[in-house]
Chain A
Amino acid sequence: EAQVTQNPRYLITVTGKKLTVTCSQNMNHEYMSWYRQDPGLGLRQIYYSMNVEVTDKGDVPEGYKVSRKEKRNFPLILESPSPNQTSLYFCASNRGGPHTDTQYFGPGTRLTVL
């Protein structure tokens, strides 16, 4: 089954404790993205990647890192989480050709930083 998976689905952590949210897709998609969703602000793009070893910042990259060492994986790293990073996070992928393609979303990761 074609899908985007994220882990963990729920996470409660404390300020400053490094964490990684994994994202994996099995559709051989070139493009992958990370978004966060907050009440009143909607979805906002954090980072995206056009291919292996090619990443770029979205609208809200501060406090986040990403890497794309393999085509299928695009982990989101919070080196020193803070309470303002409490949010619902989505990973997404699409085949390529940004003008013509639809996005496939993961199930979401609900992160709480205390």
Chain B
Amino acid sequence: KNEVEQSPQNLTAQEGEFITINCSYSVGISALHWLQQHPGGGIVSLFMLSSGKKKHGRLIATINIQEKHSSLHITASHPRDSAVYICAARRETSGSRLTFGEGTQLTVNP
């Protein structure tokens, strides 16, 4: 079993829909990252969370430390949101080491 698991692996939505991507982890963490990988391959850091909730534009990330679970929400989705979304856990005991989920491929159709 992977230490960081994401669901779903693939997600197709219609423009305007509310989207949720989930990330569960089985180890103690000091922080959790959400990343976006564009179709061209470039990776952008969206959020880093250690507790609670963060919002940036139409993106919202939440984390529940007790349940070892994080979610990334996209409101009013748009075709330009189509990308791979990756969560990564910074483990408590390993300093700068990150463990990644396999990613969620999101496609938003017009």
Q: Which residues of A contact B (CB under 8 A)?
A: 31, 33, 40-45, 48, 50, 56, 58-59, 88, 90, 92, 98-105, 107-108
Contacts and interface: CB of A to CB of B under 8 A. Distances in A.
Nearest to A92: B43
A45 B45 CA distance: 16
A102 B86 contact: no
Contact of A42 (B45, B86, B90, B96): B86
- Interface secondary structure of B, over-half rule: strand
B25 interface: no
B99 A56 contact: no
A99 B45 contact: no
A42 B95 CA distance: 20
Interface residues of B, number: 24
Interface string B90-110: 100001111111110000000
A41 B101 CA distance: 9
A31 B96 CA distance: 8
Given A42-B102, A42-B103, A107-B41, A101 B97 contact: no
B31 interface: yes
Interface in B1-59: 30-31, 33, 35, 41-45, 47-48, 50
Contacts of A44: 100
